[in-house]
Amino acid sequence: MVEISSQHGIEFEDAEGRSRRTVVAEDHGEVVAAGSLVASARHPARLFLVIAVAPEQRRRGLGSKLLSALRDGSDGRPLQARIRETDEPGLAFLRERGFGTLMRSRTGVVDPTQAETWIASNRGGFEFERPSRKDAARLHEEAYRMEHARWSPATERPLDESLQIFCGDSWLGEDAFAAPAGIAGLHGAPMAIAADELFLIAGTSEPDEALLRALVAASLAKAKAHGKKVSIEADEANEELWRILAELPAVLESDLLVLATDCG
């Protein structure tokens, strides 16, 4: 949610197809609401919408006015927004304006000491290697494109950008596992929110649930050796990881919904 809020900012447009347009509402010189439309070169099919209204200014039509102003200046692409399923007013606002559910994302925190039986039964006979930083970024990128092809096709990302996203300062390279068609990496802060947690990114470049299970199991075992819990995020479109998260003894957060105007 911090990432979503940080989309607000100065307007820009570059040659790579990325841009941002922001409008605000003021009350006696004080900004009380903001709305932004962001175009991503990575996911060009839709424009990402963010609207925030100060609590004491809500239900006065400010959100509607911001949305109207942003739509008037857009290029006609469908709009996309992310919101917690527990934000009932926000969901009602979007649904009343033509947004339908595009995807559901779920995050759960797993204590590996409570998942020992699952780890043992899913580790399988796979042999993994410790990948180089570049190989890890490449494998993560291949898995990302495969997973998003089902609902939000992604363009190729420059290697430097992939390295920063998947193997940046938070990446624990000593604890990564790789196979020719799969990768799993554990991350510390800032991707891991709590001090006693690590964040897991795992995926395969082609559907292979047995391999993905083995990668997750190996990562959970590694986290257990560190005395850490593991945070796992799964999109509903990634059916294999979604099933894995459902099986694990995880403490689940409220789902993050992705809504879009072409899913009404």
Q: How far is CA 221 from CA 120, 210, 229, in A?
A: 9, 17, 10
Q: Is beta strand 47-53 parallel, antiparallel or unpaired with respect to 30-39? A: antiparallel
Q: How many residues does the chain have?
A: 264
Predicted local distance difference test score (pLDDT) of residue 132: 97
Predicted local distance difference test score (pLDDT) of residue 12: 67
pTM of the model: 0.89
Say how far residue 206 (Cα) sits from the centre of its chain. Answer: 20
Predicted local distance difference test score (pLDDT) of residue 1: 47
| pLDDT digit string, tens, across residues 149-158 | 989 999 988 8
CB atoms within 10 A of CB 248: 23
| pLDDT digit string, tens, across residues 104-149 | 999 999 999 999 999 999 998 899 999 999 999 999 999 999 999 9
Closest CA to 199 of 236, 233, 248: 233
Which residues, at least 6 apart from 71, have a Cβ–Cβ distance to it below 8 Å?
79
Predicted local distance difference test score (pLDDT) of residue 3: 59
Q: Are 10 and 22 in contact (CB under 8 A)?
A: yes
Predicted local distance difference test score (pLDDT) of residue 5: 56
Positions in the chain whose pLDDT score sits under 70? 1-7, 10, 12, 264
Q: Are 90 and 50 in contact (CB under 8 A)?
A: no
